[in-house]
Amino acid sequence: MFYGQRNDVNDNEEIQLSLRHYINNNPPAVMTGITVHFPNLEFLCIQEVWQSNYSDLLVEELHKIYPYVIRDVGKYGHGSNYFLLNSGLMFASKYEILDVDFKYFGTSCNQCVYAGKGLLMIKVLLWYEDIRTEKAVVGYLYSTQLQAYQGKVEVNDKQLDDIVKWTKEFRETTKRENDVIAFDILSGDFNFDNISPGDKNVREHELFDVYRDEGRQSPGTDHHWTVGTEMRQHYLYEDEVSTPEGLKKCLESPLLRQQFIVDADIEEASLDTIVYALPKTEISPCGGKRRIDLILYHVDYPVIPTRYNFVTRLTRLTDHIPVTMNFKLPTSFD
């Protein structure tokens, strides 16, 4: 989930190259932390919305704020989901949606073969720079959920290959001659983290050369302010995390955090190592640090993040910690 703050943009290639160099060498100050409330959000990327009756209720509430909602995304068939679950992806926007596409992962295994997981691709209209020439300022947003509990099967790297290919193709086929691209954001449940030894192959994937993760210091190391986002499912209803304030307190404590959040020490992602694993009794450097929910921005269309939060408002309603990012669209710099 993320929010974009509008500023004017310039499509000049030299300015974009200079801006990219500046941001890479002068990381902007970002307000980070754990909060019990969501900030003002202009876009929502939601995963695991599989049940239609609850989806109806959610859409009804979302429409009070977001006029544009995409739901029930997926491809039904014997080869994609056995006619069972859709992708679980939902998207809500305050801005008009210009183009939409979805592609499903053909490499899913285990329980994920019954859910048509894939990549939802959206192009939104932000504003017209010049209505006479229809010069439009647009944004690209992608939402996904990758394979979970794959065991020894190498799946996630192939799905990342697909994402790199599909995002590029969608942008190229939908960009009009007069379009100015303000941002290109990829978010979702990636089901791997940047620290676990078993995730080394995917955290070094070329996707992270194309898209930047604000929470990542380097491959294998996260910034100190990050926390894990995958909760221990058997501890969801404990009293300590029964309120947003209680969950926030637990996330801020290294010892309590690893009691309720999965550790970033996974050797092999499976139900046994993630869902059924017991928390450690001693504080671990990677305790409660399995950060699998990411918001990334394309390095060719850089934004200036101003705020990055882990939100506890939905405690007991989800086994994930929602992530939000506020950003500006840069126009000038010193």
Residues tagged active-site: 320
Segments in the chain forming alpha helices (H): 13-25, 52-62, 156-174, 200-203, 207-210, 244-252, 254-260
What are the residues facing 296 on neighbouring strands?
186, 213
Q: How many residues does the chain have?
A: 334
Identify whether the C-beta of residue 152 lies closer than 8 Å to the C-beta of residue 169. Answer: no
Identify whether the C-beta of residue 276 lies closer than 8 Å to the C-beta of residue 266. Answer: no
Helices (H) and strands (E) in the chain, counts: 7, 15
Q: How far is CA 231 from the centre of its chain?
A: 16
Minimal CA–CA distance to 310: which of 238, 230, 242?
Answer: 230
Q: State how far the Cα of 273 lies from the Cα of 252, in Å rounded to an integer.
A: 24
Q: Identify the DSSP state of 273.
A: I
Q: State how far the Cα of 245 lies from the Cα of 37, in Å rounded to an integer.
A: 10
Rg of the chain in Å (alpha carbons):
19
Identify whether the C-beta of residue 283 lies closer than 8 Å to the C-beta of residue 222. Answer: no
